[in-house]
Structure 1
Amino acid sequence: MHGGTPHGGEVRIVPVASAAELSRFIRVPMRLNARDPNYIAPLMMERGEALSPKTNPFFAHAEVQLFLAERGGRDVGRISAQIDQLAPSDGGPKAGHFGLIAAEDDPAVFAALFAAAEAWLAARGCLRAQGPFNLSVNEEVGLLVDGFDTPPMVMMGHDPPYVAARVEALGYGKIKDVYAYKNLTSDDLPPRVRKLVERGAPEGVRLRMLDMKRYDEEVGVLTEILNDAWSENWGFTPTTEAETAQLAKSLKMVVDPRLTWFAEIDGEAAGFIVYLPNVNEAIRDLKGKLLPFGWAKLLWRLKVARVKSLRVPLMGVRRKFAGTRRGQLLPFLLITAGGLEARKLGYREVELSWILEDNMPMRRIGEAIGSRVYKTYRIYEKSLAA
C-alpha cells in the first residue's frame, strides 16, 4: 500500500510481523521527537512487553495489527489497528480502534497510515474507527491537543502539536476529551474541604494503607472496586483477571504502600486511591535503554533520590456507596490521606488523570481540592461506511 508525497519518494506500508519490525515500530516516535525537550522515550523493554501477545493479556481478547510507514529506506510513521472484543457497544455501528500514532509532519504519511488501519478495520466489519487508544481504554488514551509545554507523567502520552490537524484533515472528529489535572501537594486545602477532612472519618469508615504482605489479594480487591465504580463511564472496558495480575506484577517495583489507600465502610472495602511515583521523571535521560546502567539509575532515583511528582491513575468508590453521605466523603479522605504521606516523602506535584470531560463528579472533586486542567487529550471518531 503506498501513496505519493510532496516530500519525494513513495510511502510504503509494512504490516509488522517480526521482532525486528516491532523494534523499529517502537523506535519511530523516539526519532521523530528527539528534539522535543518534553518528550520522554519509553523504556524499550516495557514497550516490547506491552506490544507482545506473549506478555500483554490484552491480546487474549483483542485482535491487533501494527503498521510501519517507510520511505526511502527510513521509517517515517506508525499506527496500530485493533478490535477489543470486550469494548462496550454504544448502540451505534461496530467500532474498531486505532492508536500508537506517530508520523513525520507530512499529509501523505498520515494518509497512508490511516488508509491501512481503516482498511484493516473495515475488512473485519468495523463501520467506525475510534482512537487513539494505546492499545486499550485502560492504557494511554487520546491525542494531546493542549499542554505541549510540559513532559507527560507516567503512562500518559505526548504528541507533537501538528498531529491533531493531520488527523482531523483525514475526516476525524472529536467524540470525547479527557483531562489531566495538576495539583501541588501543599497543606493549603480549600477551607470547605479542609473542614470536611478535619472532622475525620465518619462512624463506620476506616482508612488503611495497602498491605504488601497481601499484595495480590489487595490488587484483586482494587480491580473489583474499579470495575464496579467505572462501569458506567463512557467506553469503560472491565479489566480481566489476567490483566489485573499483569498490572500488579508490572507496578510492584514502583508502588509505595504509603501512597496506596483503601477506605472501608462497615468493614467492606468501599474505595481506594493509587498515587504512583512519576517514573517518567526517573527515565528522562535513559533514551529508552535500561542497560548497561539504566537499572541502577532508575532504582536510585525511585528509591533513594526520589522523584518529585506523582500521578493518580486510579481512584474509585463502589457504586452502592457513591450516592451516600459517607461514600461522597471517601474521595476527599483518600486524596488527603495519600497527599499527607506524599508531602512527608518529599513529593511536590500530583496529576489526577485522566478524567472524562463529562465526568462531572470527578471534575468537581479535582477542582474542590484546588487542581486545574493543564493537559487535554482528544479521542476521535470517523465513519468507515462507504
Structure 2
Amino acid sequence: MAGSIAISPVASAADRNAFVDLPWRLYANDPHWTPPLKDEVHGLINPKKNPWFGHAEAVFLLARRDGKVTGRISAQIDKLVLAMPEVQGGGPGVGHWGMFEAEDTETAAALIAAAEDWLRGQGMTRAMGPFSLSIWDEPGLLVQGHDHSPTVMMGHHLPEYEAWIEAAGYHGARDLFTYDLDITKDFPPLVQRIVASGERNARINIRKVDKSRFNEEAALILSILNDAWSDNWGFVPLTDAEIAYAGKKLKPIVFEELIRVAEVEGVPVAFMMTLPNLNELTDDLNGRLFPFGWAKLLWRLRKPQIRTMRVPLMGVVKRLQSTRLASQLAFMMIEYIRQDALANYSAVRGEIGWVLDDNQGMKSIAETIESKVNRVYRVYEKAL
C-alpha cells in the first residue's frame, strides 16, 4: 500500500530544483503544455531576484509520498492586496496560493490544506487562488481550452485540477477570458468605417512606440495603465522596482510596430501592447537556455516569424472610458497592429486577454471584431 503524503517547505537547492522540475513529469504526455524557461521560474520564486517580495512573502511547499515528489504549491501574502478595497478582490485577511501541481487527488487535498494552514497561521481569513505568484504573473486555473497550447505568459493546467480544487471547498470568484482571432481576415465593415472615420479626425494620432526611448515609453504606458485599470477587480499597482524588472525581461520581445499609443490633441490617452507568442520560439528548448538555448532564442528574436500574437495589455484613460472615442481608438490600434503582424511577422492569429468577466467594454470590442473565447481561467476563493 502506498505511503501517506508528507508536506514540507522548500529549504534547499535540491528542493527548489524539485519544485521547478515537477511539471516536466506531470505534463510529459500533454501535447499542449509548453515547457517554461526554468531560469524564469527560479527567478520568480527567488526573493533575491523578484522585486515582488519587496511587498509580499511566500512559502513554497512540496508533497512527497515514499520520498517521491508528487506535488507542489505556494502560499503567499501581499501587503498591496491587503490594502485593496474588498470589492476589488483584496482587503484585510485575503491570502493567496498558487503554482499548484499535483499528480493525484490525495496530494492535491494535502497541498491545499497545508497552504490554508500557513495562511491561517499568518492571520488570513480568506484564501484565493491560484495566483502564480501575483495577478501580473499567471492568474487563475485553466477550466476551458485544454485542447490547445497557451500563449506567452498564460498558464496551462491538467483538467483534473478543477474538480480537486472544488472538492476542497472552493467556488469561483472571477473568470478571465482569452479571445482567439483570425487576423488574416479583414474586420467587419462597421469596424472599417470606424477606423476610416478616425483617420479623418485630425485630433487623433496613433503612433508606434520608440524603443530608443524605452524607459520613457514604458513609464508613459504604465501611467495610462494605472489610470485605466485602477478600479478593476484584482488590480495591484506595480512598484518602481517591479516596473524596472518587467521592463528588463520584456525589452527583448518588444517590437515598435506591435505596441501603439493613441494621442488625442497631442495627449497620450490609450495604448495597446502586443507580444509575439514566445512559446513558439522556446518550445523546443525544453526549458533550458544553456548551453545553447540562449543563443538560439536571441537568433530567433532578430526577426521572429510567429504564427500567433498576444495582446496582454490595453488601456484607455478613465475619463474616456465608455465613450465612442475610446472604442474608436481601440479599433484603430488593433487594425494597425493587425496589418503589421501580418506583413512583418507571418502571423495568422491573434489572442486578446486575459479579459475580466465583467469588462463589458473589452468584451464588446472583442466580439465586434468577431473574436471568440478560446480559454477560460478561473480564480477561486474560500473562507478560512
Report the residue type matching 1:131 in the other structure. G
Aligned to 2:62: 68
SS in 2 for 1:174: strand
2:204 is the alignment partner of 1:205? yes
Aligned to 1:89: 85
Q: Per-residue deviation at 1:305?
A: 5.3
Aligned pairs for 1:250-329 (under 5 A) are 250-304=249-303, 306-329=305-328
Aligned to 2:361: 361
Aligned to 1:249: 248
Contact 2:198–2:328 under 8 Å retained in 1: no
Contact 1:279–1:302 under 8 Å retained in 2: no
TM-score by length of 2: 0.95
Report the residue type matching 1:77 in the other structure. G
Q: Per-residue deviation at 1:89?
A: 3.2
Report the residue type matching 1:165 in the other structure. A
Percent of aligned pairs sharing the same letter: 45
2:181 is the alignment partner of 1:183? yes
Aligned pairs for 1:122-141 (under 5 A) are 122-141=120-139
Distance 1:141 1:303 in 2: 30
Bigger mean CA deviation after superposition, 303-312 or 256-265:
303-312
Q: Per-residue deviation at 1:301?
A: 3.0
Distance 1:23 1:220 in 2: 35
Distance 2:300 2:25 in 1: 25
Q: Per-residue deviation at 1:93?
A: 6.0
Aligned to 2:337: 338
Aligned to 1:3: none
SS in 2 for 1:77: strand
SS in 2 for 1:291: coil
Contact 2:227–2:318 under 8 Å retained in 1: yes
Contact 1:301–1:307 under 8 Å retained in 2: no
Q: Per-residue deviation at 1:300?
A: 3.2
Distance 1:298 1:268 in 2: 37
Q: Per-residue deviation at 1:286?
A: 1.3
Aligned to 1:45: 39
The alpha-carbon distance between structure 1 residues 93 and 238, as it changes in their structure 2 partners (threshold 3 A), is: closer
Distance 1:126 1:138 in 2: 22
The one-character-per-residue Cα deviations of 1:5-64 (angstroms, maximum 9, x if unpaired) are xx7111111111233322211111121111100001100111111111112111101111
SS in 2 for 1:86: helix
Aligned to 1:237: 236
Distance 1:305 1:49 in 2: 25
The one-character-per-residue Cα deviations of 1:240-289 (angstroms, maximum 9, x if unpaired) are 11111111100111111110111111221111111101011111121111
Structure 2 gap ranges (5+): none
Distance 1:80 1:344 in 2: 42
SS in 2 for 1:165: helix
2:28 is the alignment partner of 1:19? no
Structure 1 gap ranges (5+): 1-6
SS in 2 for 1:148: coil
Report the residue type matching 2:254 in the other structure. V
Count of aligned residue pairs for this structure pair: 377
Distance 2:92 2:248 in 1: 36
Structure 1 residue runs of 4+, over 3 Å off? none
Distance 1:323 1:110 in 2: 43
Q: Per-residue deviation at 1:145?
A: 0.6
SS in 2 for 1:192: helix
Report the residue type matching 2:85 in the other structure. S
SS in 2 for 1:59: helix
Contact 2:355–2:362 under 8 Å retained in 1: yes
